[in-house]
Amino acid sequence: MFRLLTDPTDEFVRITIDGVDVSARKGEPVAAVLLRTAPFTARTTTVTGAPRAPYCLMGACFDCMAIVDGVASQRTCMIAVCEGMRVVRQQGKRTQTP
């Protein structure tokens, strides 16, 4: 679907999505990584459980929310990738943990 356009100066780091090791460009939005990583979704909704993928990519639509480094409901389009980041796709309503 989407593929990463690289530049020779890019620096790459390792992050995990749902525990799976993924390569990502340091500093790119986490949402961009989700968009090119199957099944290309960020979360399921709190009402019907339907899947949602990053959409507006500017912090307005809240469809790209996921659990980042243990904090739920983070807009992944507003968060820059860094080494060792743990991203978990959020299922339905958030809980007390994380």
Task: Enumerate binding residues for other proteins (CB under 8 A).
Answer: 46-47, 71-73, 92-98
| CA quadruple 10, 81, 15, 61: dihedral sign | negative
Q: Pick between residue 13 and residue 72 the one whose CB is nearest to other proteins.
A: 72
Q: Pick between residue 27 and residue 92 the one whose CB is nearest to other proteins.
A: 92
Beta strands in 28-85 (DSSP E): 43-44, 51-52, 65-68, 71-75
- How many CB atoms sit inside 10 A of residue 17's CB? 20
Q: Pick between residue 53 and residue 91 the one whose CB is nearest to other proteins.
A: 91
Nearest approach, Cβ of residue 92 and other proteins (Å):
7
Q: How far apart are CA 19 and CA 32, in angstroms?
A: 17
Nearest approach, Cβ of residue 42 and other proteins (Å):
15
Nearest approach, Cβ of residue 81 and other proteins (Å):
20
